[in-house]
Structure 1
Amino acid sequence: MNTAQNSTQNSQQSQINSGFGKHTSAQQALGGVDLSGKIAIVTGGHSGLGLETTRALAEAGAHVIVASRSPDKARAALAGIPRVEQGVLDLLDPTSITRFAQNFVASGRPLHILVNNAGIMALPLQHDSRGYELHFAANHLGHFQLTAGLLPALRSAGNAGGARVVSVSSRGHHFSGVSLEDTHFQHREYDKWKAYGQSKTANILFALELDKRGARHGIRAFSLHPGRILDTDLKRYLSDEDLRTMGVLDEEGQLINAERYKTPNQGAATSVWCAANPQLQGLGGVYCEDADIAHAVAADSKEDFGVKPWAIDPGFAERLWSISEQQTGITFTL
């Protein structure tokens, strides 16, 4: 596996001492910013972290479009949240992605905030209609295509004061870099955690390269680890054995070190901090956790925090960008 660990890494990858932390709420992480007049899109914004992200942005004044493949479920979850509209989006269906993006761009509205939040985790080996492995297809390629389709609206907002694209990654990127030679496990043994980790590394590399290309247009990009959260749909494919292997449950099925875990609202804090907090003005391309920029850590680090070198390597990010264009058939011009 090529992880390009020896190339120059992102020099901005160091904490800014934001004053926030592990138990910061999503509302607190906004820092009192008024988002009136701002427009945001949140994929998967009707459940778990996405729902709390939607709620915090909307309560701060933003108009939020929730992109979901389950309209009925989304409608029920979003009831009572102000300034919210729905859109249908399936990240595993390129036609659905194109339709959603075209409809939004045709509305003529700028897009100030895009939170690429939706994702899947630890599935058995499955492929989409193109033959692409599902984690990489949904978590990375789907959001890559969506962001490309929304680019005119992001540029419109960027030229008028700034746009932010936020990729919800995970500390799961510690599990694996991206195998550029075999992104879809055609020539290596499948491992659901490596597949998930590869897709989460891709989220970080995408933000790094998007920020490099988009900064001159006022488009800044960020990636993040939301924290350990149990109460989300993301764990729906995990068995008790998986949870024991992960160190979540003990042999009696009891939660280990419950204080390590965040509520969904606390988990959304870093998403909304990246999306709107003025503390990040002039910055971009960084991986964040606990509502601050994360430390860069060594490849062999056993610490349960920080970003690995294979996820912040600019040369590797550029190569992944080219492969993503090839696999989606999209030329992402900035």
Structure 2
Amino acid sequence: MPSPQTPLGSGYGPATRADDVLAGIDLSGKTAIVTGGYSGIGTETARALRAAGARVIVPARDAQKARAALDGLDVELATMDLTSPASINAFAAGYLASGQPLHFLINSAGVMACPLTRDARGFELQFATNHLGHFQLTARLWPALVGAHGARVIALSSLGHRYATVDIDDPNFERREYDRWIAYGQSKTANALFAVELDARGKSRGVRAFSVHPGRIVTDLARHMSAEELQKIGALDEHGQPVVDLARGLKSPSQGAATSVWAATSAQLDGLGGVYCEDCDIAVLAPEEDVTVPGSASIASGVRPWAVDPVAAERLWMLSERMLGVSL
């Protein structure tokens, strides 16, 4: 039976920071891989896990940018490009060759609202990066996750999942008009559905999966949005600085990283999986009529039923296997 999409009453909330979640937790002897760990929320996630004692590996496409962002943090850098199957395979093979188990896989990297771009395979870039790249990475690292005898995989979804379902028949916008926000929403729904099906397949092997909405945080993820767009939705102030306003879901990077860290490490989630989380708790199911306009200043909370539908999750999994030629 799937875990219920019902809040636990965790005791945490929007103001919780990653360090708050990890207070008193010793992760010595544990290993975490954090994609996107050299930008924004990912960097805060990597920093907090390392501060709690975990060995942290950050795979990066841009090594120079990663070194600058992680300067002073005791984390390991490796090379990987989520849009390159060969690069993903090489990174995973290198890790598996170490013979070490993998306790936490935090799939935090992503792109948002970019113009129509296709990778070398012809796949739409947001779907390819946010979902397919992480699907392949997880599949290739599967032996190490199983070998941990208690691993968690965290998929960074978003409130943006409310913008769109996954179009199984045309995920790459080959027959429909491209809309950058619909494409982003599709990829974020895919992240949530990935966690649903991965958990269903992994729980008997000790691998649990969760999707999370970190909150609305202005990071490099918003590089395809203009300052005017960000100010219009209240994410930047009149001086061009990021706004933190918890009443509107606008968080600091440390507050944004808290739900990822909580989902990865909290004993409150023992025996559970496949659920969508926000504000360091399991989110409520949003009513079907709760519509969110793409690219708006919405402060809606909760997960749309389509993003935690096990039937849709299995269909997406099968599509992903066909597109990539990989499986667990």
Task: Tell me whether the two structures share a fold, i.e. TM-score over 0.5.
Answer: yes
When the two structures are superposed, what TM-score results if normalisation uses the length of structure 1?
0.91
Offset of residue 30 of structure 1: 2.4
- Equivalent residue for 1:235? 222
Residue 268 of structure 1 aligns to a residue in which SS?
helix
Residue 104 (structure 2) pairs with residue 108 (structure 1): no
CA offset digits 1:188-246 (Å, max 9, x no partner): 1111000000000000000000000000000000000000111x110111013433564
Distance (Å, rounded) in 1 between the aligned partners of 2:65 and 2:90: 21
Q: Which amino acid aligns with 2:46?
A: T
- Equivalent residue for 1:4? none
Partners of 2:3 and 2:275 within 8 A in 1: no
Structure 2, gaps ≥5 residues long: 292-298
Residue 136 (structure 2) pairs with residue 140 (structure 1): no
- Equivalent residue for 1:44? 36
Q: 1:73 aligns with which of 49, 65, 75?
A: 65
Distance (Å, rounded) in 2 between the aligned partners of 1:131 and 1:76: 32
Distance (Å, rounded) in 1 between the aligned partners of 2:243 and 2:62: 33
Partners of 1:31 and 1:277 within 8 A in 2: no
When the two structures are superposed, what TM-score results if normalisation uses the length of structure 2?
0.93
- Equivalent residue for 2:322? 326
Identity of aligned residues (%): 58
Structure 1, gaps ≥5 residues long: 1-8
Cα gap change, 1:131/1:39 in structure 2, threshold over 3 Å: closer, same or farther? same
Residue 16 of structure 1 aligns to a residue in which SS?
coil
CA offset digits 1:226-267 (Å, max 9, x no partner): 00111x110111013433564546999898884532110110
Distance (Å, rounded) in 1 between the aligned partners of 2:126 and 2:312: 19
Matches within 5 A, 1:162-311: 162-230=150-218, 232-243=219-230, 246=233, 248=235, 258-259=245-246, 260=248, 261-302=250-291, 304-311=300-307
Q: Which amino acid aligns with 1:243?
A: L
Distance (Å, rounded) in 2 between the aligned partners of 1:251 and 1:23: 24
Higher relative contact order (CA 8 A, sep 6+): 1
Residue 223 of structure 1 aligns to a residue in which SS?
strand
Q: 2:18 aligns with which of 26, 35, 57?
A: 26
- Equivalent residue for 1:86? 77
**How many residues were matched structurally?**
319
Q: Which amino acid aligns with 1:32?
A: G
Cα gap change, 1:251/1:72 in structure 2, threshold over 3 Å: closer, same or farther? closer
Partners of 1:33 and 1:277 within 8 A in 2: no
Distance (Å, rounded) in 1 between the aligned partners of 2:152 and 2:193: 16
Cα gap change, 1:10/1:258 in structure 2, threshold over 3 Å: closer, same or farther? same
Offset of residue 276 of structure 1: 0.9
Cα gap change, 1:91/1:254 in structure 2, threshold over 3 Å: closer, same or farther? closer
Partners of 2:244 and 2:251 within 8 A in 1: no
Partners of 1:13 and 1:287 within 8 A in 2: yes
Q: Which amino acid aligns with 1:100?
A: F
Offset of residue 278 of structure 1: 1.3
Distance (Å, rounded) in 2 between the aligned partners of 1:200 and 1:95: 24
